[in-house]
Amino acid sequence: MAGGVDRLEQLIREACEQPSMISFAGGFPATESIPQEALSEAALAAVRTRPRMEASLQYCWPEGKLGLRTWVAGRLAQRGLRIAPEEVIITAGAQQALSLTYRALGKPGARVLVDPVCYPGALDLMRTGGATFTRDPARADLAYLMPGVSNPVGNDTLAAHWRTLRDRSCPLIVDEAYAELRFDGALPPLLLKLARDRVFHVGTVSKTICPGLRIGWLVPPPAHLSAFLDDKTRDDLQAGTFAQTLLSGLLSRIDYDQHLRSVHGLYRERAACLVRSLERHLPQLSFHPPEGGFSLFAESGRRMDELAFFEACVACGVIYDPGSRFVAEPEHVPTLKLRLCFSSLAEDAIEQGVARLAAAWARAAAAA
């Protein structure tokens, strides 16, 4: 198994260097959606004078810049929860927030509730911490939830768990990385408001603005705030000052809600294009059309060697995210699974990419 994973990683890296490769991998926001002009203005303003340069390029506090924490608190207030900016910790992306949280909560052998297919970065953290996975909310010691839009399926899976979890006392890691990217613009229930004493709320602008800034945030229960700040300080002292300044400057220059409405339409159209193309070229795959986010998760009805199929895809000029990485129990993967990201591809590239996937399918099936 380990050799197969290593080979897959090598193939992905090599394929990404080929200019003609069409990539359904990675979960990137559309480059054209990044507010380039406002970002450039914010970058210039951050270094225009010596006082601004010092505020942008020197150290800041472990919890992050006040202006950015105030913005996060303001977004939560719009959803019905008033918290102080002092309750927000700015992190190096959502991944650091997840790492800090699981490091504090995870115990070897802990039973963690996860969806059957789930974000690999979270699964890896939990496996390293010695977790076991469960699909039964009533048996969970800890739950990892992605309300609104889950990764990789692109649908809201919260309802399947919340009825049981709301009556229990286990901690909840609530990852809202994609929550603002539902195509209908609807936001999920704010679990931080419903269970303030046990929700560890994680957010980020990596999907809504851009991942290169590496800015996320964590809102832990008040009883955990001091310990988390200490751990954050030991971890990396602080999130990058310049990236925080850049983001604050950008947010002061754009209408963030209008930006979200714009990307909702863009991603909705690309998702629909991917669904149509799969139905036309690869009816062998089953999936649920996504309600938001960047991807859909498809599964074949037959057994096929994942590495062999991926090699066939590379030969045909297309790559995707291997589905085994998203499965909590990868040893129980009887059929081929794929995460296909539509977010960063124009519609003609999506259609051409699916045609290449179909050609790879035919090649791998013939070889098998």
Token pair, residue 355, equals 């045609």
% the chain with pLDDT above 70: 98
pLDDT over 50 (residue 1):
no
Tell me what percent of the residues of the chain surpass a pLDDT of 90: 90
Q: What burial letters (b/e) apply to 200-222, b meaning 16+ CB within 10 Å?
A: bbbbbbbbbbbbebbbbbbbbbe
pLDDT at 34: 98
How is residue 335 written in tokens? 């059929």
**Contact (CB, 8 A) for 199 and 101:** no
Sign of the Cα pseudo-torsion (257, 68, 234, 169, in order): negative
Question: For 97-117, how does the pLDDT look when each residue is reduced to its tens digit (9 = 90+)?
Answer: 999 999 999 999 999 999 999
DSSP 93: H
In the predicted model, is pLDDT for residue 145 greater than 60?
yes
Q: What distance lies between CA 295 and its chain's CA centroid?
A: 10
Q: What is the pLDDT of residues 2-33, one digit of tens each?
A: 444 578 889 989 988 999 999 999 999 999 99
Q: What is the average per-residue pLDDT within 341-358? A: 98
368: confidence class by pLDDT, cuts 50, 70, 90: confident
Q: Give the model's pLDDT for residue 149.
A: 97
In 10 A of CB 35, how many CB atoms?
Answer: 18
For tokens 């340069």, the residue is: 53
Phi, psi of 133 (to 5 degrees): -105, 145
Instruction: With beta carbons less than 8 A apart as the criterion, state whether 144 and 175 touch.
Output: yes
Domains of the chain in start order, with CATH, are 2-34+257-367 (3.90.1150.10), 36-253 (3.40.640.10)
The secondary structure of 307-328, three-state, reads HHHHHHHHHHCEECEEHHHHEC
pLDDT of residue 282: 97
Residue 302 pLDDT: 80
Cα distances from 314 to residues 132, 281, 304, 308, in angstroms, run 34, 18, 16, 10
pLDDT tens digits for range 193-207: 999 999 999 999 999
Q: How does pLDDT run across 263-283, given as a tens digit for each residue?
A: 999 999 999 999 999 999 999
pLDDT tier, 329 (very low <50, low <70, confident <90, very high otherwise): confident
Name the strands in the sheet holding 132-134, side by side, starting at the edge strand that comes first in the sequence. 89-91, 216-219, 199-204, 172-175, 142-145, 111-113, 132-134
- Give the integer Cα–Cα distance in Å for 109 and 97: 22
Q: Is the pLDDT of residue 334 over 80?
A: no
As a whole number of angstroms, the distance between CA 278 and CA 180 comes to 26
pLDDT at 333: 61
Q: Who has greater pLDDT, 348 or 15?
A: 348
- H-type alpha helices, the chain: 2-16, 36-47, 50-57, 66-77, 93-105, 120-128, 159-165, 191-194, 225-236, 241-251, 256-281, 306-316, 347-367
Q: Which of 115, 102, 165 is nearest to 328 (CA)?
A: 115
In which band, very low, low, confident or very high, does the pLDDT at 332 lie, cut at 50, 70 and 90? low
Q: Nearest CA to 245 among 37, 58, 32, 31?
A: 58
